[in-house]
Every structure is written in C-alpha cells, then in structure tokens.
Amino acid sequence: MDKIVSLCKRRGFVYPGSDIYGGLANTFDFGPLGVELANNIKKSWWKNFVQNRSDIYGLDGGILMNPKIWEASGHTQGFIDVLVECKKCHKRFRTDQIEQDLPAGRQECPDCGGELTEAKKFVPMFKTFVGPVEDSASIAYLRPETAQAIFVNFKNIIDSFHPVLPFGVAQIGKAFRNEITLGNFIFRKLEFEQMEIEYFIEEKDWKKYFEEWEKEIEKWVIGLGINKKNIHWRKHDKEELAHYSKHTEDIEYNFPFGGFKELYGLAYRTDFDLKNHSEKSGKDLKYVDLKTNEKFFPHVIEPSFGMERTMLMILSEAYCEEEIKETKRIVLKLKPALAPIKAAIFPLLANKPDLIKKAKEVYEILKKEFPTVWDDRGNIGKRYYSQDEIGTPYCITIDFDTLEKDDVTVRERDSMKQERIKIKELKEYLEEKLNE
Ligand code: GAP
C-alpha cells in the first residue's frame, strides 16, 4: 500500500489534499494522471451500464437539494454512525469498524490500546446554509448519496420517456460524508464520486434482478482486469442493513491494506424511497402499468459503485515489480483502455534535428487521437521504465532507420516486445491494440 501511495504522489496520480497547509484528513486531489484514470473509469462505467443498454437512462442531479428530501429518505434520522473516542489518545472511531478490526468482544483503542468512551450517535452529513442567514430555516446538506436525485426525478423521467418496467436511472456524481475514521488513502474520503443505478422493478421480481445485477457487477469488475480470486460477495446481517434496505450484499476486493473490504454495495431498497417521497411531497410517484392499468410503487435494486475504490482496486491489481537483467522495473499493468497515457514518443537522440523533426511529426499525428507524451530525456531504457511506472502501454522510438524507411519501433509494456511499424500504419495499429 505504501508503494502505491508513494507512486501516486510521485508520478501525479493522487496528491494529499491541501498539502502545503499540512493537509486535511481524508481529502485528496487528483493529479494529471489521476484525472485521466478517473475519467477512463467513469467512461467505461457509463458506456457499459448506460450507453450499451436500452433500459437505463442517464441523469445528473444537484449536489444541493431541498432538505426535506433527506427527511423523506430517512437520512436525517437513520443515516447514523456510532462513534467512540479513546480516553488516552483522543482518536475517534466508528464502532462498526473497530468491531471488524478487533477480535470479537475486545473493546479498546486500535491505535494505543486505551479505554474507549461510551458510544455516541452522529449524522455524517455535511451541513451548509443557503442564503445570507445561517439559521435552521436555511440549512441544506451536501448529498451523502447520489441516489436521491434519481428518486426525486422519477416522475420527470416517466413523463419525458414513458419507460416500461424494468428500467433504471444512472448517475455519476460527487457525494459527501463527514467521515471521522482515518481512511486508507482514497478508500474513505470526505468527498468522493459515486456511480449509482436505481433499477425499478415489480416487487415479485426482486430476487431475479438482484442476482442479475450481481452478475453484471462482477462482469464489469473482471473486465477492468481484476482477478476473480480477489473479489467475493458478503451478505449484510440484519444489524448492518441500511435503514432503507431489506437485503444488501457487498462485493469486496482484497485490498493491499487489511484484506477483503467493501468495494461496492448492491441493495434491495424495496419501494421505501418512492413511497416516502410521494407521502412527504404530496406528489403521486406511482407507476402505471399501461397493459393492466394497475398503479403501484415500483421496487428498487440499487447497484452502488465508488469511483475512488475502483481506482484503488485497479492500481493495486496493476502494480508489479519485476527483475529485468538485475534491474528492478515497476510496472502498472493497466488495461490499455484505462491507462492515462496511451503512447510515448521517444526520439533516439535529443540533439539530432532530423530525428526531432520526424519524431514531432509522429507525436502530432498521435496526440490528436489519444493522450500521447513526448520524452527526450536520458537514455531509452530509462524512458521505458518511466512510462512502465505509469502504465503507458506503447512506447515509440524514432531512430536513424526511421529517416530512411519511415517506420518506428513500437515497444509493448508488459511483454517488452518490439516491432517495426510503418508510420502511415501506426495510428490504426495502435487504435486496434488499445481497443483489445
Ligand atoms: N446509495 C447507496 C449508498 O450510498 P454505500 O454503501 O453507503 O451505499 C456506496 O456507498 C459506495 O460508495 C460504497 O460501496 C463505496 O464504493 C463508496 N463509498 C462510500 N463511502 C465512501 C467514502 N467515504 N469514500 C470513498 N468511497 C465511498
């Protein structure tokens, strides 16, 4: 884990938040490569779960919403963390997490072994105020889940698109939680991105669709390049269930800190949300089956994905150290579609104008197509290793033969095999490889 954190900072994937002011716990900023990786994750998710399907509609709801939404959704009363504080070192912990980390029955500070205070309840939603007056009438919350924007737009989607059950609404967006336990790097942040789907169904079908979604989630995770042995499902017991859920299972990933931990949640939310919003807003949020004229609240299966946990999983899975002729190389074996940079252009020598001119031509062709970088520092071996560390799948060297034959050396990251490819065929060659 330390190696991944260090690589992320050194190479510009993830920086600690507010670093020059000593940081702010559980906040992080994405550097240039982190932004690309995050965008690739979100693009892959949106393509797979929205664009490739005909039963899912996209939405982008607000972060700030009417506070009545959080009463109707049960968050102001039911979205609660239970905290304890160490009497000795004064660190605070969530009781559910201490229970996971300590042997059964032991209740002591996981850091210093000190005695813990009585448990206290706490609502981890961030409050803010809308307008110039900071009173109880102007309170608003930063959303702790993107899901509620979907429920409150349910009628809008029905009126605009007339979808027939089963159908889903998907959203990618920021969510905020006042997390008090120190997270493991980007695993637990104050501000994170969720990729959520509310899939509306008839009550009788909940089990069938729950199982279908388990398979869909697993397929997507494996498609990201994750080994099946590093994931498993864990069912929530009754005490652990969120206030809105009748049945939840988490898909867990074998993270490099502390083993299997929650990656995503899959919940059967029943008709809890639509029913409550209908009651509290006074608006009819029932669905009408046009074949039978039956009117009812659809039930909901909710696959909920965390973008940052996806990123941490992908980085953990891809990170490799290899011995090559007594030198160590660090390589991120990312799927090409996820790699922040797709190709790097190397002129063999930085002080030969003919080589530089030709290499710039190749660089300009590829840069228009996908993220491509230029590197003319040091020797070629060092440039390869530098690109391996950030997962660039292809490095392209322009040498003296290029000037005569108009071809280049393309070196593949994982196998380190090299091939000569004609410049006029290079774009198509790479496009094909990157889409594999
Ligand atoms: N709408 C359902 C919901 O929000 P959740 O299990 O609380 O369910 C869903 O959150 C997912 O969001 C988690 O499985 C995780 O991937 C991600 N997540 C939750 N809290 C997070 C945090 N503080 N930092 C990063 N990701 C988080």
Evaluate: CB of 189 within 6 angstroms of ligand 1: yes
Which atom, in ligand 1's list, is nearest to the CA of 265?
A: 14
Supply φ then ψ for residue 267, to 5 degrees: -125, 145
CA distances from 238 to 8, 203, 241, 321 (A): 38, 20, 6, 42
pLDDT of residue 102: 58
**CA 177 to centroid of ligand 1, rounded, Å:** 9
pLDDT (tens digit, 9 = 90+) per residue, 181-199? 767 999 999 999 999 999 9
**CA 253 to centroid of ligand 1, rounded, Å:** 14
Strands (E), 228-378: 231-235, 247-255, 259-270, 287-288, 295-296, 299-306, 319-324, 327-332, 343-347, 372-374
Q: Count of alpha carbons within 13 Å of 75, Cβ hemisphere only?
A: 22
* More confidently predicted of 83 and 142: 142
Average pLDDT on 52-61 reads 98
Helix (H, G, I), strand (E, B) or coil at 141: strand
Which atom, in ligand 1's list, is nearest to the CA of 146?
A: 1
pLDDT of residue 94: 83
pLDDT of residue 216: 98
| Band (103; pLDDT cuts 50, 70, 90) | low
pLDDT (tens digit, 9 = 90+) per residue, 314-346? 999 999 999 988 889 999 999 999 999 999 999
Name the β-bridge partners of 330.
Answer: 321
**CA 45 to centroid of ligand 1, rounded, Å:** 16
Candidates 191, 262, 312: which one to mutate for ligand 1, based on the most atoms within 8 Å of Cβ?
Answer: 262
| Band (247; pLDDT cuts 50, 70, 90) | very high
pLDDT of residue 104: 59
pLDDT (tens digit, 9 = 90+) per residue, 391-419? 999 999 999 999 999 999 999 999 999 99
Alpha carbon distance 106, 104 (integer Å): 6
Q: Tokens standing for 301?
A: 């299966």
pLDDT of residue 183: 72
| Band (111; pLDDT cuts 50, 70, 90) | confident
Contacts for 234-239: CB closer than 8 Å, 24+ residues apart: 234/260, 234/262
- Name the strand (E) or helix (H) holding 400: helix 400-405
For tokens 């639509």, name the residue: 274
Ligand 1 atom 25, closest CA: 188
Alpha carbon distance 3, 34 (integer Å): 16
**CA 175 to centroid of ligand 1, rounded, Å:** 8
Average pLDDT on 354-376 reads 97
Name the β-bridge partners of 28.
Answer: 16
pLDDT higher than threshold 70 for residue 101:
no
Evaluate: CB of 45 within 6 angstroms of ligand 1: no
- How is the beta sheet containing 81-85 ordered, strand by strand? 92-94, 81-85, 120-122
Q: How far is CA 367 from the centre of its chain?
A: 26
pLDDT of residue 436: 76
Q: Give me the sign of the Cα torsion angle 33, 36, 42, 48.
A: negative
pLDDT of residue 325: 83
